[in-house]
Amino acid sequence: MGGHEMESREPTGPGTAEAHERPEQPEQPERPEQPEKKVAWSELFFDLVLVFAVTQVSALLHHDHGWAGTGRALIVFVPVYWVWVGNTVHANTHDADRPLNRIALFAAGLCGLLMALALPEAFGDRGILLAGAYFCARLVLAALAHGRSRRLRPTPVTLSVLISGPLMLAGAFLDGGLRVGLWALAAAVDLAAPRLTRASMVRLNLDSGHLAERFGLFVMIALGESIVAVGAPVATAPDLDAGTLTAVAVAFVLVCSLWWVYFHLAAGAVRHGLETAAVRADVARQVLSYGHLSLIASIIAVAVGMAEAVAHPGTRLPLGVAALLYGGCALFLATFGYTRWHLFRSWSVTRLAAAAAVLALLPVAALLPSLGALALLTLLVTALNLAELALVRRQGRLPGGREEEAPQALAS
């Protein structure tokens, strides 16, 4: 995971996953039964900063959606995302309602707000603001994590303070490719940190329900921002014609379909996989920290493509915009193949096939009017949801009869 590690409770025990689903893991002490952890109001308040930050990343990508612009948007999104992940893990393993933890979360929120303000000119004259705010956010978390301990433990937040934070600051004093290079290296360090510090991560006693809900809420934030990205320009337009309104409706159906892909089956699968994991931190790292970075980045790409399609429904999408729309959707679907493998050691055949179909249709979409390209993509994702719904009903349900609780229904 991309968080930090604190004075953590020892985890407890071999999960209930069967041998054919996952390789044998080292035996661990049994996890004690604990009441389900609720998401704190302070965490939801902290998320409001993320809404603004995601909007700013989307605007940055909208301004330059070529390969270079996409890479730069990803480079600055990683530190924003990692600040959120770190504080989410801390809230998961500690009482977020304690006054000190609340104050620290608000301080991290202020840092996140400053990072969001810096994003539009992050590669210009606001680079110092972005790097400084990021470094301060990680310092706050490190101070909270280590407390009065004089021993510096190898954790993701430690690597951020010692390596990626200084790299961000150094890059802020440089221009052009040098800044991009150092910030890309800082992002790579942050991404590698959970794996490099695995020994400390596996000691955490993570609450699976709380963690799954928090990452699900981030997906919801990204989906909500995509609606804002589509609707805000239309709301200020002097005239609303039938083509624009139709494009808005189709874009909304696409967002609903993406919501369905995640929340109808995948959200339950994530929680189930965490609850039954032999080493919960390993699953959390792969499925939550890494998998959800891919999911949220892909939603941002789709949002930019939808906004362009709605703005010009009767004209062809530029190839770069079509690539964001279709490529982002394909990445979103393909990510479930990656996460399912780490959850259950099986492939999501339907979603991988749908991702391949989306990519195959990209050349066709580039020849269609924007509204047609948007409608074609919406039709494909909706068809995927209908096919999976039929498949789950045919294969049966878990005890209790809820389809949402059938996390392995699509494993074959």
Amino acid at the residue 183:
W
Q: What is the pLDDT of residues 215-250, one digit of tens each?
A: 999 999 999 999 999 999 999 988 889 999 999 999
Strand, helix or coil for residue 42: helix
CB 284 within 8 A of CB 317: no
What is the rounded distance in angstroms from the CA atom of residue 209 to the CA atom of residue 33? 13
Burial 96-112 (b: 16+ CB within 10 A, else e): beeeebbebbebbbebb
Taking alpha carbons only, the member of 71, 130, 127 closest to residue 301 is 71
pLDDT confidence band for 355 (50 / 70 / 90): very high
**Measured torsion, CA atoms of residues 267, 115, 282, 195, in degrees rounded to the nearest 10:** 150
Beta-bridge partners for 369: 316
What is the rounded distance in angstroms from the CA atom of residue 57 to the CA atom of residue 291? 19
pLDDT, mean over the chain: 87
What is the rounded distance in angstroms from the CA atom of residue 355 to the CA atom of residue 183? 30
What is the rounded distance in angstroms from the CA atom of residue 191 to the CA atom of residue 166? 16
Where are the chain's structural domains? Answer: 41-201, 208-405
CB 336 within 8 A of CB 261: yes
Spelled out in words, what is the top-level CATH class assigned to the domain 208-405?
mainly alpha
Strand, helix or coil for residue 203: coil
* DSSP code at position 321: H
CB 141 within 8 A of CB 108: yes
pLDDT confidence band for 26 (50 / 70 / 90): very low
Q: What is the pLDDT of residues 44-81, one digit of tens each?
A: 999 999 899 999 999 999 999 899 999 999 999 999 99
Q: For 350-382, give the DSSP string.
A: HHHHHHHHHHHTHHHHTTSBHHHHHHHHHHHHH
What average pLDDT does range 82-98 have in this prediction? 94
